Amino acid sequence: MSDVGFIGVGKIGNPMCANVIKGGHRVVVHDLVEEHAANLIELGAIWAETPAQVASQSEVVLTSLPGPPEVTAVLRGADGILDGAEPGLVCFDLSTNLPSTVKMLAERAAERGVVFHDSPVSNGVQGAIDATLAVMVGGEQASFEKYKPVLECIGNNVFHMGELGMGALTKIINNMVSISSIQLLVEATVIAEAAGLEAERAYEVMSVASAQSYVGNMPTLLERDFDDPSFFLKWAAKDVSLAVQVAREQGIPSPMASAASDMLNRAKNRGHDLKSPMATLLSTEEDAGVSN
């Protein structure tokens, strides 16, 4: 059993933390909204008022946060993890982050004797509930091996991807492919509609033809079931923008990811940010003058 800290228990962090508790570990928890942790406290978690208090009571800390700014603030900000950490503390950041940010944070953490890992997850809220997440870890091998049993509480596929930043990079390119594929499907649907082809009939063909690997999302697209998703459009927009930023940092063109990023940001700016990433269909139809 390990003394585990968990910071960020929102939509995906909450079930991950619950599974760590169910795995038999002692867990100290913190979130900006204390009510988010109510069910976890019932399961036996200990509440902490600040990230620093979490760190001071833990040997390993897991963070599940919206993105790079929040991770940076929780680690380095006032009453952050580094303010409460003792040398030897190990951190696994489960958030989607930039490799360059990961390396900067790891350097700052190392100055305080803290070992930092990028450890993003994939497979969504249901995967978090079922403990079937894929976990992609970058960083020191020894501490990864030591705390792999903790990570196995949240995911059944835990990978060590190599040096710092490689976990983050793996998550970014994974999301680039999956989210960009959805945007390509959206675009194809609107083209079909605009040209007079019933999208339902197109789906019948694509589901058994060469496009079938991408069209599993088509029924949801056709039903326009975009509300109350497990993964918000604004998160997809952020994730694809990270892929575009990595490409820019490497001097590599990214026309497909850039186009997907533009589609997502247009939809986000029109008020669809809390809908499914497939809600780009709505803004794309608006731009095309297609009504449905």
Contact 82, 141 (CB under 8 A): no
Could you give the CA distance from residue 34 to residue 52 in angstroms, rounded to a whole number? 16
Partner residues linked to 155 by β-bridges = 133
Could you give the CA distance from residue 214 to residue 99 in angstroms, rounded to a whole number? 28
Contact 168, 97 (CB under 8 A): yes
Is 171 labeled as catalytic in the residue annotation? yes
> CB 73: neighbour CB atoms within 10 A?
13
Report how far apart, in Å, the C-alpha atoms of 205 and of each of 8, 25, 178, 198, 222 are.
Answer: 43, 50, 21, 11, 14
Q: 11, 22, 103, 171: which one is catalytic?
A: 171
Side-chain half-sphere CA neighbours of 98 within 13 A: 20
Please identify every residue annotated as catalytic.
Answer: 171
